[in-house]
């Protein structure tokens, strides 16, 4: 579906990540984990880029995407947008989706690759699913964790949700994991990992690394879904 939408809310998530919300038009149906193309005018030209919905299909009044602000041209135009500004949207697309079809899912993300995972998590909570969800979220520093408060709240209210943060450049005060996502972390945090469906999202280099880790753990390719944020 293609439509023009005006910005109804902008949420500063971290020092360099913002969410952009629009009214959800009637007929815009999507699955948790899908993405859409957002077209804006950048230096006089229409430029179109893909962004995953960080909202859940259960949120009827709005759709949202969440962008890491990179300092590049497209990003700078978005960063300067204000409520009432207009974008063109085309979607939904993508197959990194969850609709309740697996009993146990592991969501492994790096950086802004959290966006499909937060959509899936919200969907599970709102739809009252008893799916067992384990998230392993990798970032550099504490200040880079996007949706940290939302995830804390969801984890407190849902015994089936486990959230593990790992920070590769953590300060001395960080009590949690400090490694990159690796085989021993998966075995430790998800002892019954062989029963899980794995969802991977992040920069291409991270996806490659996680695919080979899962391969070394003898997880069949049919139990791995992935989205690479090319251009990230
Ligand atoms: C299916 C899908 C879903 C996505 N979902 C999201 C999402 O939810 N949130 C999100 O933030 N992003 C998402 N992305 C990525 C997004 O589409 C953009 O590619 C990303 O945000 C970077 O866009 P940009 O305009 O800020 O940077 P770009 O200008 O596209 O830069 C991207 C990278 O290219 C390199 N680069 C660019 N210009 C130069 C230059 N002049 N010289 C050297 N190197 C350069 C840099 O390494 C830079 O980091 C998704 C991508 C895909 C494919």
Question: For residue 232, what pLDDT is reported?
Answer: 52
User: Can you give the pLDDT at residue 201?
Assistant: 98
Q: Which whole number is the average pLDDT over 99-125? A: 97
Ligand 1 centre from 73 Cα, in Å? 10
Q: Looking at 27-36, 37-46, 176-185, 186-195, which range is the least confident one? A: 176-185
Give me the mean pLDDT over the 192-197 stretch: 97
Q: Ligand 1: distance of its center to the CA of 132 in Å?
A: 32
Residue 176 has pLDDT above 80, yes or no: yes
Residue 17 scores a pLDDT above 60 = yes
* Bridge partners for 11 per DSSP: 19
User: Residues with Cβ within 6 A of ligand 1?
Assistant: 35, 49-52, 65-68, 70, 72, 74-75, 94, 112, 115, 227, 229-232
Hey, what CATH topology would domain 104-228 get? Rossmann fold (3.40.50)
The Cα 154–Cα 135 span in angstroms is 12
Identify each DSSP E strand in the chain by its residue range.
2-14, 17-23, 35-42, 45-52, 62-68, 86-93, 104-110, 132-139, 161-167, 197-202, 224-228
Residue 44 has pLDDT above 60, yes or no: yes
Residues carrying CATH 2.40.30.10, the chain:
2-93
The pLDDT tens digits of the residues spanning 134-151 come to 999 999 999 999 999 999
Is cis: bond before 92, omega within 30 of 0?
A: yes
CB contact set of 191 (below 8 Å; sequence gap of 6+)? none
Question: Is residue 51 pLDDT above 60, yes or no?
Answer: yes
Cα–Cα distances in Å, from 150 out to 98, 155, 182? Answer: 19, 9, 25
- Give the closest residue (by CA) to ligand 1 atom 49: 232
Of the options 2.170.190.11, 2.170.260.10, 3.30.70.260, 2.40.30.10, the CATH number for the domain spanning 2-93: 2.40.30.10
Over residues 59-63, mean pLDDT: 97
- 65 DSSP β-pair partners: 20, 53
- For residue 219, the model assigns a pLDDT of 97
Q: Is the pLDDT of residue 173 over 90?
A: no
**Termini Cα distance of the chain:** 25
CA distances from 160 to 38, 55, 188, 203 (A): 34, 20, 17, 27
Q: Which atom of ligand 1 is nearest to the CA of 74?
A: 25
Using most ligand atoms within 8 A of CB, pick from 41, 51, 118 the residue to mutate for ligand 1.
51
Which pTM does this prediction carry?
0.94
Top-confidence residue, 174 or 64: 64
């Amino acid at each position: 579906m293609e439509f023009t939408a005006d910005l109804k809310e902008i949420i500063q998530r971290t020092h360099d990540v913002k969410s952009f919300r629009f009214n959800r038009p009637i007929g815009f149906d999507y699955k948790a984990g899908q993405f859409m193309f957002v077209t804006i005018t950048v230096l006089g030209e229409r430029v179109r880029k893909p962004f995953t919905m960080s909202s859940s299909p259960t949120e009827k009044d709005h759709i949202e995407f969440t962008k890491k602000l990179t300092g590049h041209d497209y990003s700078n135009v978005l960063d300067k947008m204000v409520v009432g500004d207009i974008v063109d949207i085309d979607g939904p697309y993508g197959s990194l989706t969850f609709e309740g079809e697996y009993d146990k899912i592991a969501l492994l993300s790096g950086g802004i690759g959290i966006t499909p995972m937060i959509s899936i998590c919200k969907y599970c909570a709102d739809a009252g699913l008893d799916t067992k969800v384990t998230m392993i979220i990798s970032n550099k520093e504490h200040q880079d964790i996007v949706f940290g408060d939302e995830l804390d709240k969801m984890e407190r209210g849902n015994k089936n949700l486990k959230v593990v943060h790992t920070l590769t450049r953590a300060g001395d005060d960080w009590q949690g994991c400090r490694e990159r996502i690796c085989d021993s972390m998966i075995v430790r945090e998800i002892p019954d990992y062989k029963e899980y469906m794995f969802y991977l999202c992040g920069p291409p280099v991270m996806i490659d690394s996680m695919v080979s880790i899962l391969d070394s753990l003898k997880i069949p390719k049919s139990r791995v879904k992935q989205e690479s944020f090319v251009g990230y």
